[in-house]
Structure 1
């Protein structure tokens, strides 16, 4: 079975993406999802196989457009309620939550 992955990107791959990764892992645990979270700098992002890419809008705008990968462009990278809402609005996350419900 395909391992589901979220890639968090930031300019250096160290600061913002690492902090956001921790929050995403908490979100995944709270929703009981089997998803791996990775973080990378914007220059390396194209080398990752992932289902969802998330990061600050200005960083994401530097990436080439992916037609098969959903991308979440965050206007605010510190407001956890806003990030949670963006995740819950994500088609990819919605499909994972629906899939999980079907397994129960």
Structure 2
């Protein structure tokens, strides 16, 4: 099962909200994945198949080995849906 890690600055409010939205959208799409949330610093040491968050934040995770999903507006559910469909179609 794929793991999606939702990342925000402090790993509290916004990443938790996005995590809940990701779970709802994945269920609607019929995609199974483990979804959790954390802060940027911790995310650098956690293993995941996908790292998802605000573009200006998660670009710090790009190292050529991580699948980073960047969002312009983390509260835009339609943008989130498109990003998940685009990046997880092989799941």
CA distance in 1, matches of 2:48, 2:19: 14
Number of matched pairs: 91
Q: Which residue of 2 aligns with 1:58?
A: 56
CA RMSD of aligned residues (A): 1.2
Q: Aligned pair 1:44/2:39, yes or no? A: no
1:15 counterpart (13, 16, 19): 13
CA distance in 2, matches of 1:49, 1:73: 17
TM-score scaled by length of structure 1: 0.80
Q: Aligned pair 1:30/2:25, yes or no? A: no
Runs of 5+ consecutive residues of structure 2 not aligned to the other structure: none
Following superposition, the deviation at residue 9 of structure 1 comes to 0.1
Runs of 5+ consecutive residues of structure 1 not aligned to the other structure: 97-104
Following superposition, the deviation at residue 46 of structure 1 comes to 1.7
